[in-house]
Amino acid sequence: MKIQIIIGSVRQGRIGPQIAQWVRDCIVGVSEAISADIIDLAEWYLPMDDEPFMPSSGQYIQPHTQKWSEKINQGQMMIFVFPQYNWGYPAALKNAIDHLYHEWKDKPALMVSYANRGGAKAATQLKQVLEGVNMQPLNTAIEIKLSELEFEENGMIVHPVEGLSQYVPALHEALALVINSMSIKDG
Ligand SMILES: Cc1cc2nc3c(=O)[nH]c(=O)nc-3n(C[C@H](O)[C@H](O)[C@H](O)COP(=O)(O)O)c2cc1C
């Protein structure tokens, strides 16, 4: 199973990449059948509204949208790693989702939000959008409470492996659920 871990924040000095790397490190050892790539939206040039056709038509004229479509088509499961910004999720993530449509269809999605109190408000909003593009968001979502972690002067998490260890069982459980449902489908 090819998992894509999408970093939903793009601002300078963000902790998104640190959390995404932690997610990747936690899941790659779970099964030989899993591969996990990190997709950093900061590395994807996706200008807003520069396609003349509806994304649901699948007709993309811009090379960057075509490349984005190819990339997302390669994934079988998505893990969205995203912070809460002003009670919602980052605009960059919405923009990346809205560039495509069918590419997201039927894929299981695990949400890993983070904020002072875990980012439940952002996760609730994102879940609705993921359902809108016909993804299958898992009922289990991981909400990382930043208020319980220690931070370096540069804003990075101190000892992420120890600090985030309480979330590992939920992460493994969510993954096992998806692996099981896929093997049932594959017979
Ligand atoms: C624009 C903005 C809005 C934020 N809004 C919230 C919020 O609503 N609730 C919260 O707990 N933290 C909020 N924060 C704090 C972020 O959750 C925290 O800074 C986190 O590290 C941001 O993720 P990032 O570093 O990957 O960008 C906000 C931060 C930013 C930059």
Please report, as a single letter, which amino acid is at residue 120.
A
Q: Which of 9, 84, 86 to mutate to test the pocket of ligand 1 (most atoms within 8 A of CB)?
A: 84
Domain count, the chain: 1
Residue 111 bridge partners (DSSP)? 80
Residue nearest to atom 1 of ligand 1 (CA): 85
Closest C-alpha to ligand 1, atom 3 = 85
Q: For 171-182, how does the pLDDT look when each residue is reduced to its tens digit (9 = 90+)?
A: 999 999 998 887
CATH number at residue 115: 3.40.50.360
CA 120 vs. chain centroid, Å, equals: 15
d(CA 114, ligand 1 centre) in Å: 8
Taking the model in full, what pTM does it have?
Answer: 0.97
Is 44 near ligand 1, meaning CB less than 6 Å away? no
Cβ–ligand 1 contact at 12 (below 6 Å): no
Round to whole Å and give the CA distance between 134 and 128.
Answer: 10
CB 157 within 8 A of CB 163: yes
Q: What pLDDT shows up at residue 187? A: 65
pLDDT tens digits for 136-162? 999 999 999 999 999 999 999 999 999
Strand locations in 74-135, DSSP E? 77-83, 108-115
Task: Give the position, in ligand 1's atom list, of the atom nearest the Cα of 88.
Answer: 8
- Domain ranges, residue 19: 2-186
pLDDT digits (tens, 9 = 90+) for 16-43: 999 999 999 999 988 888 999 999 999 9
Token readout for 49 is 């509204």
